[in-house]
Amino acid sequence: QVQLVESGGGSVQTGESLRLSCRAQGPNFDRYAMAWFRQAPGKQREAVSCIRWTNDITYYPESLKGRFTISRDNDKNTLYLQINNLTPDDTAMYYCAASKYSYGDCRSRQDNYLYWGQGTQVTVSS
């Protein structure tokens, strides 16, 4: 069982940056592929990024490459998402998730993830 708690969201202006954190409680954090998803009002949840348990393979949708950076610190049981040059289109609830299986690959499909946090809200104003 893994419990995930996100933090770091907030209300910012266009062009600013945020670093989101996801603290994991439970064993074997370093065995799970981890991901960030987001859901804007009235839209479906979408994958933002994921990172393999080995910390060497990541995924970003083409539309988000260059502004989003995922990382993890297995010693601290924490996942991060650095977001630069925020725009109002980035306004959403951001969720972290841990994969169903140990030693899994980085995948963008939601059904690959079993454990989810409660989310942290990011609001960007123009």
Question: pLDDT digits over 11-31, tens only?
Answer: 999 999 999 999 999 888 999
- Whole-angstrom distance, CA of residue 61 vs CA of residue 68: 10
- Whole-angstrom distance, CA of residue 120 vs CA of residue 124: 13
* Mean model confidence pLDDT for the chain: 94
Contact indicator for 70, 50 with CB cutoff of 8 Å: yes
Question: pLDDT digits over 28-71, tens only?
Answer: 899 999 999 999 999 999 999 999 988 878 888 888 888 999 99
- Residue 55 has a pLDDT of 81
- Whole-angstrom distance, CA of residue 16 vs CA of residue 31: 33
